[in-house]
Amino acid sequence: MAKLKGIRRIDRIINNFTKNFNIKADLGNEFLAYCPDRLINYTLVIDEEDIRYFKEDAEKRYPDVHADIMLWCLLHEVGHIMTDDMWTEEELDYFEEQKEHMTSCADDDNRNDWYHACPDEFFATKWAGDYMRKYPKRIAKFWNELQIALIDFYRRNDLI
């Protein structure tokens, strides 16, 4: 497999940001948080349909925060780790069980409304939105640097 040019720069920029929270970030297939390990995964491929409900929820709750969906996703995963101590293991297990149950038996609108109201998801998004509100200059600087690296990545790999 061919090596992707510029991926280390993207990884370095994201990790320079997440180290402020004692969190490591790795490129993966989707956005995920591994709270006990203080690790998040990020992806460069965002399925707009899959993320639509998350974006709608975030924008409805934070209409004054104008951020790219990648920023929302990154900070949401950081938010999972930053709010993880709010929950007992039993509560986290219950949330996961409920999310799995909703995924299998509810229609898309109800499932996604409930999913984003689930306490661990709700507070991860709240943490992200509150952080972007509180530190807009820090977020703008981070996003500007990351966006330049992303565009460079796409160009160097003939993706645009």
- Per-domain residue ranges for the chain? 11-85+121-156
Q: How far apart are CA 27 and CA 44, in angstroms?
A: 8
Question: What per-residue confidence (pLDDT) applies to 107?
Answer: 65
Q: How far apart are CA 51 and CA 101, in angstroms?
A: 19
Please name every residue paired with 39 in a beta bridge, in sequence order, or none if there are none: 24, 34
Question: What per-residue confidence (pLDDT) applies to 139?
Answer: 98
Question: What per-residue confidence (pLDDT) applies to 109?
Answer: 64
Question: What's the whole-number average pLDDT of the chain?
Answer: 91
Taking 60 as the threshold, does the pLDDT of residue 1 lie above it? no
Q: How far apart are CA 8 and CA 69, in angstroms?
A: 21
Question: What per-residue confidence (pLDDT) applies to 91?
Answer: 94
Question: What per-residue confidence (pLDDT) applies to 88?
Answer: 93
Tell me which amino acid residue 25 is. Answer: A
Question: What per-residue confidence (pLDDT) applies to 151?
Answer: 95
Residue 73's closest CA among 113, 120, 41?
41
Dihedrals φ, ψ of 47, to 5°?
Answer: -80, 105
Give how far the C-alpha of residue 150 lies from the chain's centroid of Cα atoms, to the nearest Å: 16
Mean pLDDT score, 2-11: 89
Tell me which amino acid residue 9 is. Answer: R
Q: Mark 90-118 as b/e (b = at least 16 C-beta within 10 Å).
A: eeeeebeeebeebeeeeeeeebbebbbeb
Mean pLDDT score, 60-65: 95
Q: How far apart are CA 147 and CA 17, in angstroms?
A: 14
Tell me which H or E stretch contains 103: helix 89-105
pLDDT tens digits, one per residue of 69-125? 999 999 999 999 999 999 999 999 998 888 887 766 656 666 677 787 889 999 999
From the number of C-beta atoms within 10 Å of its C-beta (0-12, 13-18, 19+), residue 40 rates as buried
